[in-house]
Amino acid sequence: MVSYAIVGVVGLLLNIVIARYYGATRLGVFNQVYAIYILLSQLAVSGVHLSILKVTAQFSKEQIIIQDSFSAALILTIITAGLVTALAYVCKDFFAYALSSPNVTKGLVLALPGLFLFSLNKAFLALLNGLRHMKAYAVFQGLRFLLMMICLFILIALQVNGGYIPIIFSLTEAILLMMQLPFALHWIRPDLSSKGLKWMKTHLVFGLKAMVGHLLLDANSRVDVLLLGLFASDSVVGVYSFAAMLADGFAQLPVVLRTNINPVLTQTFHDNGTSALENVMLRGKRLSYFFMVPIGLVAILGYPMLNLLGFAPEFNQSWSVFAILMAGILFSAGYLPFQMIFNQVGQPGHQTLFLVMFFLTNVILNMLFIPLFGMYGSALATALAFMFQIFYLKRLAFSRIGIRV
């Protein structure tokens, strides 16, 4: 909880500091680069981290299996991340053209080294998660955002031009990788024999089946910013993304439960069956609603107090955006911790189906509402997509796993 509180608070501070020192336009560019960076990171890791999590949780007491599995996964991640990073550099001008913002290209180039390193760090974090070393996981998860904040303050102190802000991604991931390596070395035992290649194939097949779904899970937190960027100026995107980032920070709260419960779901399903799995999910759903709703209402009511920090008047419009987005998150709060349920029970294909439906709903509604209502339409579309995902999750969980949630 402390770790994800740091993620949420620092995510808020990043937006506040960039908005305060560099303005809405630079904030808009930063968040568009961030959105592209997050989406590319899922392609770079190719779902291999999800296979690491599943295998490590399933064989948590088998050290040799975990070493063989993780070593193969790490080699595979280096290959996929290298290919995607190189391809992203070649295609860098496409993003600027699509978003009508040349500054996006410059920012993306600065972030690309971080893209490769981020993929390796995701593999290490998945190993810690699967082993249920949650304290170490929490420390590194929180450190990522603290390091981003420190790097941003260094840029401000050195009076670096705002166009260079995305370099904080690369600096952060390099430092984080050096800090994680000592914890992961015990589990690294490279093996390019037939056994190692078999594990690489296992991870690749599972990862590719799960990748699209996990890519869309992250895309859902960024697709509104990117689609709004197609219709509006960098300044409007900056105002919207300020509120969207705060709402996304709040949505990290159920991710705390999701991160902790994912390996438990796998172990419960394999050891005790669907009835026990259903009970775990029902308890988790009640717990999530119990904590999320009161905190969310306080956040909505307290949002106007941010104006005391002296932002430009254009940011006053962001409160309505925040309130609309929060309504959708709070409505679905009990189900958010279980977005990865199909992966955890060994059904990555159905995981992808669930998240494709969620993503397409979000995209279609955004495309319909943004031309009509601008950034408020984007907020409404995203909130409705969160609500629709409850229906998708309940139907698929019953038909594919045989549980009611």
Q: Which residues make Cβ contacts (< 8 Å) with residue 61, sequence separation at least 6? A: none
Query: Which tokens belong to 341?
Result: 């349920």
Contact 258, 287 (CB under 8 A): no
Residue linked to tokens 């984007």: 378
Query: Exposure of 330 by Cβ count < 10 A (0-12 exposed, 13-18 middle, 19+ buried)?
Result: buried
Query: Which tokens belong to 170?
Result: 């690369």
* Amino acid letter, 176: L
Q: Which has the closest alpha carbon to 173: 154, 145, 152?
A: 145
Read off the pLDDT band of 152 (50, 70, 90).
very high
* Amino acid letter, 223: V
Is 221 or 166 the better-scoring residue by pLDDT?
166
Q: Rounded CA gap, 291 and 277, in Å?
A: 22
User: Tens digits of per-residue pLDDT, 66-107?
Assistant: 888 888 888 999 999 999 999 989 887 887 777 667 788 888
Query: Which tokens belong to 162?
Result: 């705002």
* Amino acid letter, 31: N
Is 0.85 surpassed by the pTM of this model? Answer: no
Contact 50, 343 (CB under 8 A): yes
* Amino acid letter, 183: F
Q: Rounded CA gap, 195 and 90, in Å?
A: 35
User: Tens digits of per-residue pLDDT, 115-135?
Assistant: 999 999 998 888 888 888 888
Quote the mean pLDDT of the chain: 84
| Interval 346-366 mean pLDDT | 87
